[in-house]
Amino acid sequence: MYILGIDTSCDDTSCAILKDGKLVLSNVIHSQLKVHHQFGGVVPELASREHIRNILPVAGEAFKRAKITINHIDAVAVTSGPGLMGSLLVGLYYAKALSYSMSIPMVTVNHLEGHILSIFLEEDEPPFPYIALTVSGGHTSIFEVRDYGRYRTLGQTLDDAAGEAFDKVAKLLGLGYPGGPVIERLSENGRGDVIKFPRAYMGKDSLDFSFSGIKTAVSLYYKRYLEDKALQNSITIEDIAASFQEAVIDVLVHKTILASKKTGINTIVLAGGVACNSKLRERLTDEARSEGIKVFVPSPQYCTDNGAMIALAGYQRIIKGERADLSEDVLPKYPIEKIPSFL
């Protein structure tokens, strides 16, 4: 079975071809980074226009790399939410057109379900159940994953997502967009223990997150830093970046391991765009190992938004007989609890 997976949830246009629910024949991602860079973040109107411009070329390239034609496709899976409404509509209506014109089934996929299951694109697969930490620019959540289609939210951000905090801090420091890669790069030459930025643990047993406070703390510190020559002689921008990154990682790692202990599940999956951060990967893996917990992390190409993970999640639904109606609409706010269970 050949499935076309489509993701246009934010600012990346991605199409992938998956064979038999496992083999990735192609995974094409067109980034809009150059478009949004000058604005320091994603502009929804521009994002949707870029998706309209790119969806056909990206799909065509996916078929080309997979060495098949559109006539080989047995089904199409597309992200219906959460995400930017205009962006989501482009992918959904392209999927509807394919489904209708070629008389093939279509399924809609929750973007977070794609991230949660992205680890199954790798050879080394985790056993069910597992704890999934999804960290990106739009989402920071901890899930209990019992099986395909069986998910429970254990904790989530109450304000900014971790990736969003990286972007905002990078912007106020004048480092550009996106913030994650540049802060990680600067942090390699900085000292993460010289500035004690706050860690919002939200209570002893809380699994929820809050990153707005640390963003404010960095902003206030940087304002003082610019006005204090003595401080500038002892602290570098690299130190500020490293200390910020260290604070965010401390909270992410602490709460994920806490979730594992509270549920008794000794397997963790790290997913989402921020999962590309090497420091986060290393810290979570090392600290989990000391607690007898095994960590699985997808390769970077499957951490960022991609069509392959949508095709994989869609495959699991299609083989269980699920189908989406052509009247289905996008869901910009799509809690994982509202995902239809097929078990």
What is the model's pLDDT at position 203? 87
What is the model's pLDDT at position 160? 93
Is it true that domain 124-297 has CATH number 3.20.20.80? no
pLDDT tens by residue, 272-288: 999 999 999 999 999 99
What is the model's pLDDT at position 342? 64
Q: How far is CA 80 from the centre of its chain?
A: 15
Domain 2-116+304-338 top-level CATH class: alpha beta
Please state the rounded mean pLDDT for residues 37-60. 96
Q: How far is CA 188 from the centre of its chain?
A: 23
| 337-339-343 Cα angle (round to 5) | 105
Please state the rounded mean pLDDT for residues 68-90. 97
Structure tokens at 121: 């694109």
Check if the beta carbon of residue 50 is closer than 8 Å to that of residue 35: yes
pLDDT tens by residue, 126-154: 999 999 999 998 899 999 999 999 999 99
Residue partners of 285: CB distance under 8 A and separation at least 6: 295, 297
pLDDT tens by residue, 14-31: 999 999 999 999 999 999
Closest CA to 294 of 267, 272, 312: 267
**Percentage of the chain surpassing pLDDT 70?**
99
Over 80: is that where the pLDDT of 206 sits?
yes
pLDDT tens by residue, 303-328: 999 999 999 999 999 999 999 999 99
**Percentage of the chain surpassing pLDDT 90?**
94
What is the model's pLDDT at position 339? 84
What stretch(es) of the chain map to CATH 3.30.420.40? 2-116+304-338, 124-297
What is the rounded average pLDDT for all residues in the chain?
Answer: 96
pLDDT tens by residue, 288-297: 999 999 999 9
